[in-house]
Amino acid sequence: MTDALARIHAAFADAGVSGRLHALDLDSGAQLDAGADQPVCTASVHKLCLLVTLYEQAAVGLLDLTEQVECPPQGRTAGPTGLGAMLDAARLSVRDLAFLMMSVSDNAAADLLLGRIGLEAVNRTTARLGLTHTYAVHTFGELFTTIREDAGPEGARALADPLVVTRLRALDPARTNRSTPRDMTRLLAAVWRDEAFPPEYGAAVRRVLGLQVWPHRLASGFPFDDVHVAGKTGSLPTVRNEVGVVEYPDGGRYAVAVFTRTARTSALLPAADAVIGTAARLAVDALRAP
């Protein structure tokens, strides 16, 4: 494990990021800790907490996943994907909104769902599951409002300035949606072990997580047809995250949570994306070693 940790830290350094990681063998309980208890801003990774809350409420009869939700074009949370990028009115079920929220990280879909159940429901679920360092402070629309306010009158252009980025509340775990890598692997373990809700609901959540479309972070470390990766990304200025579960054909199952920050403000940093997969692969290889 010591050698693996050294290689993980070297990979982070080579990619120009600071990184926090936790990896957990879901069956043996073996784990690898590289800053696993450090608080991190979750960004869109927090949508996983919302997804689990929705299915928990459905499992106890508080929510009908087929309930239809009106999605008017006015007032939608902005975003480059899903409903946030669409122009016309729509009507979707709760579970289809959840699919958009997870597969393409649709902010508008996430906030429609939060409008249905509320932030405090999400916090009650994470508390019930023992995620003592995980807390939702903002809706996604509110999160982006803090960024606009903190960026000032120059708007998005100001986010190229590292000094502006340092004052963003959205990047301070004490003032935004937050967690730790260990909390996130604990949440994934509860889903994969069917501890969060009955098996049929767990299977539905695992299916949705397996439909995420982004291959450039966690999945990039496991380019094999017979290895399945299910996860959720999260991105903000200088922040790139992903949490997920890697499943091998021999039955091995590994929850991995990787959270990174970079000093560079560029939106496109392929090395910073790819190191999430590299670090995850190093961690899983260490857990699989004899």
290: pLDDT strictly greater than 80: no
Q: How far apart are the first and last CA of the chain?
A: 11
CA-to-CA distance for 73 and 142, rounded, in angstroms? Answer: 18
Across the chain, mean pLDDT equals: 96
Task: Please report how the helices 94-103 and 47-59 are oriented relative to each other, as an axis angle in degrees rounded to 10.
Answer: 160
Helices within 129-195 (DSSP H only):
140-151, 162-166, 181-192
* DSSP type of residue 78: P
The predicted pLDDT at position 224 comes to: 94
Is the pLDDT reported for residue 153 higher than 90?
no
Do the Cβ atoms of 258 and 278 come closer than 8 Å? no
Element housing 10 (H / E):
helix 2-15
For 216, phi and psi rounded to 5 degrees? -95, -5
Kindly report the pTM of this predicted structure: 0.96
Question: Mean per-residue pLDDT for 206-212?
Answer: 98
Looking at residues 52-62, what average pLDDT do you find?
Answer: 98
CA angle 172, 230, 239 (to 5 degrees): 20
Closest by CA to 244, choosing from 106, 47, 96, is 47
pLDDT tens digits for 234-269?
A: 999 999 999 999 999 999 999 999 999 998 888 889
Structure tokens at 286: 């260490």
Per-residue pLDDT at 186? 98
Q: What angle do CA 114, 184, 225 make, to 5 degrees?
A: 100
Structural tokens at position 188: 């994934």
Q: How long a stretch of residues is the chain?
A: 290
Contact 212, 232 (CB under 8 A): yes
> Domains, the chain, ranges and CATH?
2-288 (3.40.710.10)
Q: What are the CA-CA distances from residue 132 to residues 125, 154, 236 (Å)?
A: 11, 38, 23
Closest by CA to 64, choosing from 117, 108, 127, is: 117
SS3 assignment, position 111: helix
Helix 47-59 vs helix 181-192: angle between axes, to the nearest 10 degrees? 30
| pLDDT at position 72 | 94
